[in-house]
Structure 1
Amino acid sequence: METTVSKRQIYVDLKEMELSPSMQAPIVAYQDGQRKYYRYSREGFSIVDLTDDELLGLDATVNMLASFRGMPQFDWMTDIIRKLKKKYKVSENQRNILSFDSNVDLRGIDRFKELFNFIINEQPIKITYEPFGKPAFDAEIHPYYLKQYNNRWFILGYNPEYKDISVFALDRIKKVDSLNIDFIQDTIIEDPFDYFFDVIGTTIPNHGEVEKIVLKFSPKRYQYVLAKPIHHTQKTDDNTLTATIEVIPNKELEAIILGFGKDVEVLEPEHLRNEIIEIMKESCKKYGLLKNDCKSPQ
C-alpha cells in the first residue's frame, strides 16, 4: 500500500520544529508564483546540531580517529575528519595522545580498503591465495568480515567449494577480482563474537571440541595473566597459580603457551601437554640440547 503524507501533517511538523526547545528551527516561508517554499532563515542551521557535551565528545572522537591517519587501511579517515571539523567546528589536537599497535609495513595491508568495500557492497570475489610453503590456488569468496589478530588481518567469507566459512590472511592474497554472480548472504557468522567464542585467534579446527585447558604459571607471570586474561572464559586459582580456560585447542593457543616460555606448564589436557613437549624437544634439537632430555650436554 502506498504511503502518503497530508499537507496538514507537514504543517504540524514544521510548527513542531519551530516550537520544540530542542530544535527551535528558524523557518521562514516565501512565495514564488503559485508555489510556497519553506527554508531556514539562518544559513548552515541544522536541527541535528549537537549540545556542548556532545561536541566535547565529538572533539575527543575526532582526535581518536586522527590517530589512525598514516595507516594505509585508514587513509580514508582524513576526509571524514575534515568533514567533521568543518560541519561541527570541532578542533583537532595536533599532539597525538593515542597509539595503536599496528604494522604499517605488513604485506597485503594495501588490500584492506578494497576488501572492506567488497564486504560493504556485498560483492563476491575471486582471490588467488598462496599459503606458506604451498602452491597458490584460486578461491571464490563471499566476504563477510575482517578480523585482526596478532597484528595480522584476515578476511572471512563463505566458500561455495567447501560450503562453509574460509579464513584468508591478507598478506598471502596475491590477486583479487570481483565476480558477476549473486551474493550469498551470511547465515553462519552473523555475530563475529559468537562465531569465535570458543577459540583464540582465527583458526577453528574441523571437528574441534571445546576442552578445559589448565595452565600453571610462575608467581610473577601469574600476575600478568591476572591482568591480561588469555581468554574470556579464564578462571584463576591464587592458591595453585593456575589459569583455566575452555577453548578449542588450535595453533594460536599453542603459540601463546610457548610464548610464556619457562613460566608456564600445561597440566591439562594430556594431549596438549604432550604436543607442547614435542615442540620443545624440536626446539632443543636446533640448539643441540637433546642429548640429555633437553639439558645441556655434559
Structure 2
Amino acid sequence: MKLERLISIIYKLLNHEVLSASALADEYGVSQRTIYRDIDVLCAAGFPIVSYLGQSGGYSIMDGYKMDKSLLGSYDVNALITVLQGLSTVFEDERAQGTIERLQTISSENCTPTLSVDFESRRADPDALRQLRTGIAAKQIVNFDYVNADSQRTNRQIEPIRLEFKHANWYVYGFCLTRTDYREFRLSRMLNVQLTSDSFPPRDPTSNSRASHAGIDMSQVQDVVVRVHPHALSEALDHFQQADKQFHNDGSLTIRIPVFQPLEAKWLCSILLSFGSGAEVLEPIELRTVVQSQLREALKLYQ
C-alpha cells in the first residue's frame, strides 16, 4: 500500500504545480506526518522534490523534470486519456483517474483534444452500472427484474462476466442462474438491480453452446424496403445509416435493410411507427399489414 501511495504521489506532483501536505493527506486518508515521511523517502530515492513555505506552500517536482515519453506516442496517450476520462465519469473510478494522471505526465503539452468520448447513456442507471462492475470484479451474484422483448417481467440472478457498450446502449453478459445458460441483458430493461453477498467461481464460457453465438440462419433474412419522406430524413439516417440508400429528386429516400424475421422484429416495427407519416414500408407486403395493425391498436387508445 505504501509503495502504491508513493508512486501515486510522484504522478500527482508531476501533474500539479504545488500540492500541500494537508491536501495529500486528505487524498490518501493518512496523517500529514505520514506524507512528510513519504516525501523524505522520495527525496532519498533521487526524485527532485522542491518544498515551498507559506500559506500557499507545499511540494512540487523541480522544473524540467519529465517522464520518459518514448513508450507511447502522443496520439496513443491522448486517445487513452480520452477513453479513460469517459469511463471514469460513468463509474466514478478512482483507479482510472489515477491512470489518467500517470498518462498525463507523458502526454503532449498544450495539445488540443481532437477526440471526445461519452459513455453515459440516458437508457442506463449509473448506480446499476457501478453495481454490475463491482459484481464482475468481486465475482458476486447480481439479482434484478428483467423486462424482455415480449414485455414479460421476470426475476433473474446472474453471474456477471462483462459489461458491453454498443449501439448507444449498455449491456451485461453473464451466466443466468434462472435460465442456467449464458445471456445478454440490456440495462435499460433491468429493474431493482441488487448486488448479493453470494460469490461464484469462474466459469468457462466456451463450455456452453450459447456462449459461442450461433450464426444467423440466412434463409430467414429478408430485405425490408422503406420510402422515407424528406421531413424524416434525419431520423431515418440516425437509425439506418448503414442501409443501402437511394436518394430521389424530390428529396425523399429509399432504404433497403436486411432483417432477420422482419415480421417478428418488434424493434423494427417500433422504429417505423416512430416516423409517423414520414416513412412508408414498400416491401415486404406482409410487414405493411403488421404496421397497419399496430396503428389501429394505437388509435383505439384515443377514441
TM-score range, shorter-chain basis?
A: 0.5 to 0.7
> What secondary structure, in the 3-state scheme, does the structure 2 residue paired with 1:110 have?
helix
CA contact (8 A) 1:156 1:166 kept: yes
**1:246 counterpart residue number:** 258
Correspondence 1:66 to 2:115: no
For 2:220 and 2:91, how far apart are their aligned partners in 1? 38
CA contact (8 A) 2:235 2:275 kept: no
Change (3 A) 1:246 1:155: same
Q: Provide Cα deviations, 1:215-246, integer angstroms capped at 9, x if missing partner.
A: 12114545764x556275x2233469321111
Q: In the alignment, residue 262 of structure 1 is paired with which amino acid?
A: S
RMSD (CA atoms): 4.4
**2:4 counterpart residue number:** none
CA contact (8 A) 2:244 2:257 kept: yes
Q: In the alignment, residue 284 of structure 1 is paired with which amino acid?
A: L
Aligned-pair distance for 1:146?
Answer: 2.4
Aligned-pair distance for 1:73?
Answer: 5.9
Q: Provide Cα deviations, 1:61-99, integer angstroms capped at 9, x if missing partner.
A: 42454355543466653222122224x265587999736
> What secondary structure, in the 3-state scheme, does the structure 1 residue paired with 2:118 have?
coil
Higher mean alpha-carbon deviation, 275-284 vs 171-180, is at 171-180
Choose which of 182, 185, 202 in structure 2 pairs with 1:168.
Answer: 185
Choose which of 212, 215, 236 in structure 1 pairs with 2:245.
Answer: 236
Q: In the alignment, residue 196 of structure 2 is paired with which amino acid?
A: D
**2:203 counterpart residue number:** 184
For 1:264 and 1:158, how far apart are their aligned partners in 2? 40
Choose which of 116, 133, 139 in structure 2 pairs with 1:98.
Answer: 116
**1:278 counterpart residue number:** 293
> What secondary structure, in the 3-state scheme, does the structure 2 residue paired with 1:253 have?
helix
**1:127 counterpart residue number:** 143
Aligned-pair distance for 1:42?
Answer: 8.4
For 1:157 and 1:55, how far apart are their aligned partners in 2? 36
Q: Provide Cα deviations, 1:78-137, integer angstroms capped at 9, x if missing partner.
A: 222122224x26558799973637346x6632132332344456x362413254986652
Correspondence 1:137 to 2:152: no
**1:259 counterpart residue number:** 274
Structure 1: gaps spanning 5 or more residues: 1-40, 199-207, 289-298
Aligned-pair distance for 1:274?
Answer: 2.1
Correspondence 1:211 to 2:226: no
For 1:100 and 1:231, how far apart are their aligned partners in 2? 20
Aligned-pair distance for 1:264?
Answer: 1.0
> What secondary structure, in the 3-state scheme, does the structure 2 residue paired with 1:236 have?
strand
**1:38 counterpart residue number:** none
Aligned-pair distance for 1:54?
Answer: 0.5
Question: Normalized against structure 1, the TM-score is what?
Answer: 0.57
> What secondary structure, in the 3-state scheme, does the structure 2 residue paired with 1:172 have?
strand
Aligned-pair distance for 1:145?
Answer: 3.5
> What secondary structure, in the 3-state scheme, does the structure 1 residue paired with 2:120 have?
coil
CA contact (8 A) 2:228 2:279 kept: yes
**1:287 counterpart residue number:** 302
> What secondary structure, in the 3-state scheme, does the structure 1 residue paired with 2:173 have?
strand
> What secondary structure, in the 3-state scheme, does the structure 1 residue paired with 2:205 have?
coil
Structure 2: gaps spanning 5 or more residues: 1-44, 49-66
CA contact (8 A) 1:142 1:184 kept: no
For 2:193 and 2:294, how far apart are their aligned partners in 1? 31
Choose which of 50, 54, 59 in structure 1 pairs with 2:73.
Answer: 54
Correspondence 1:159 to 2:170: no
Aligned-pair distance for 1:272?
Answer: 2.9
- Please state which structure has a larger fraction of its residues in helix: 2
For 2:153 and 2:231, how far apart are their aligned partners in 1? 44
CA contact (8 A) 2:77 2:107 kept: no
For 2:197 and 2:118, how far apart are their aligned partners in 1? 31
Q: In the alignment, residue 228 of structure 2 is paired with which amino acid?
A: F
CA contact (8 A) 1:216 1:266 kept: yes
Give aligned-pair identity as a percent.
19
Change (3 A) 1:282 1:247: same
